Structure 1
């Protein structure tokens, strides 16, 4: 690890100013991803700006009945918050499905959203990787790609986004707030992550030097009947090979409202809007759930070793929506 400057800040404007003055600086939250990448030589910041002591560590109810989550709220505190558990249970489940308790105690909401892919080619600096070294190629296309993307990928990158939390937030129309030297701004979480295209090294739509200050969840009564289901290759502390965040409101056997987002199948959380449109106003049946899943997954372009994810996601959609429909009927 090469030498770097370390600065601790107590106010947002000071944090932004330090990064604005040094383009190769990075914000440091819990460090659970950034420090590992620095050790591997993937990230080489000249300055770390420690934002853990910024006054952004609260979960608060908004005037319209939603929730605002500060960027430095730890994953553990977010999962344990009573309003999150009551009104957005899938978010609590997603956070608890991610990493160990020790990591959740350190990791922050803002850092979780900006964590980078765990693709082995990306984290190995001896290998080419368009995300790490633009124009060098994507060896995963013909190499190891069993856990890689089936939706929204390109010939330039087939890596997946690793966040569980972001999948649940995408399902509930979360909005990300940020601060720059030019002032504040907001992005829908589904717009935060850029399509891969031919520039996989450009991962987010955040302006240069932007600091995420919080995430707002709009009021969503349907979210109270929600679930996050994660499939992984081992029982504990593994990244997903497929996941789903789902919420369902069924009235008299008809789908009144539904939210669906997939994880571990694209370079960003995948909001399944086509499936939502297919389901809304129709019967809450296993056949309808499967048809909706097939409509969404029709765009899938699996590689030779990860076509299993299509079946996996279809089964997740049917299983989780059936469970939610049965709970609604009780």
Structure 2
């Protein structure tokens, strides 16, 4: 770990004033500290934001919720308004990490997690995400956990978050603040596919800080489900996960949301596939057709072709459970 300066500003403006290309904001540090210990991240200056007033969950004028960036994952999952209105998000958060990590991890920090690709963490091997232009050994190496959708020749890594998959399905909005002022980013646009610049995970500028995440009033509380498939039940990242949310009119689907985790560089949605379900009865046949359409462009690697079949079954199961009111995970 390299030497670094440390500051703990008292307000958001002061934190942003200190920021720059060689700085990192730190809250719980559950991912950043791992990266620093492995010399993957080498910031020259850590800006501790744990003293900022970003720890509340408040109702918005439009009937949704605004989650402060420093709300812990544990407090978010067990917050009464989240449990009542957004059980999909509560399920997803509780499926991730361990209780100890959820107590430390912040909501804003969850969005900034970096991939758990073996090669990214191993500084003895090349990695385009860590050092652009050096290559992607995962493409021809051990790639069981890697992407089957949206990958590029430069990177086949996956995004590790569970919470982000639910936020994608709920169409959350990310609130950020930088030297240029305040702005909002639609969740679908916040994370990037790798393309030719896999080192860039998201659309944040160096001086921008996530201040909150807004959930719309539309919560799908009665018909949602988060399904996570992993190698072991305790503290493992998803091989495939599905956030499914339906608006039902009797047995007919009025609206549908499907987001996948563990299969791409960002939470994966396809609105055209979701539209295929609208106006259709909630049957296994229609769910299977949606799953096939969702995975039609999958390009598995040498060791992860199983993810295509696994994802298909998971989509069908998650949608089936959501249609009847959800299932506890």
TM-score range, shorter chain: over 0.9
Contact 2:191–2:203 (Cα < 8 Å) also in 1: yes
Structure-1 residue corresponding to 2:83: 85
Aligned match for 1:127, one of 125, 132, 135: 125
Measure the CA separation in 1 of the matches of 2:305 and 2:109: 31
Measure the CA separation in 1 of the matches of 2:254 and 2:28: 40
Contact 1:172–1:223 (Cα < 8 Å) also in 2: no
Measure the CA separation in 1 of the matches of 2:205 and 2:84: 34
Contact 1:274–1:295 (Cα < 8 Å) also in 2: no
Q: Secondary structure at the match of 1:327?
A: coil
Structure-1 residue corresponding to 2:245: 247
Q: Secondary structure at the match of 2:324?
A: helix
Equivalent positions of 1:1-330 (< 5 A) are 1-20=1-20, 23-327=21-325
Measure the CA separation in 1 of the matches of 2:200 and 2:325: 41
Size of the aligned set, in residue pairs, is: 326
Measure the CA separation in 2 of the matches of 1:202 and 1:153: 14
Structure 1 residue runs without a partner (length 5+): none
Measure the CA separation in 2 of the matches of 1:31 and 1:320: 32
Contact 2:260–2:269 (Cα < 8 Å) also in 1: yes
CA RMSD of aligned residues (A): 1.1
Cα deviation code 1:8-66 (max 9, x no counterpart): 1110000000014xx20100010000011000000000000000110000111111110
Cα deviation code 1:276-318 (max 9, x no counterpart): 0111111211000000110111011111211111111111111
Measure the CA separation in 1 of the matches of 2:117 and 2:300: 16
TM-superposed CA distance for 1:206, in Å, is 1.3
- TM-score, normalised to structure 2's length? 0.97
Shift in alpha-carbon separation, 1:221–1:160, aligned structure 2, 3 A: closer
Contact 1:241–1:265 (Cα < 8 Å) also in 2: yes
- TM-score, normalised to structure 1's length? 0.97
Measure the CA separation in 2 of the matches of 1:220 and 1:99: 27
Measure the CA separation in 1 of the matches of 2:295 and 2:113: 26
Measure the CA separation in 2 of the matches of 1:327 and 1:189: 25
Q: Secondary structure at the match of 1:240?
A: coil
TM-superposed CA distance for 1:208, in Å, is 2.3
Contact 2:224–2:325 (Cα < 8 Å) also in 1: no
Q: Secondary structure at the match of 2:2?
A: coil
Contact 1:6–1:50 (Cα < 8 Å) also in 2: yes
Structure 2 residue runs without a partner (length 5+): none
Measure the CA separation in 2 of the matches of 1:270 and 1:144: 22
Cα deviation code 1:241-295 (max 9, x no counterpart): 0000111122232111111100010000111323201111112110000001101
TM-superposed CA distance for 1:187, in Å, is 0.4
Measure the CA separation in 1 of the matches of 2:250 and 2:5: 61
Contact 2:223–2:246 (Cα < 8 Å) also in 1: yes
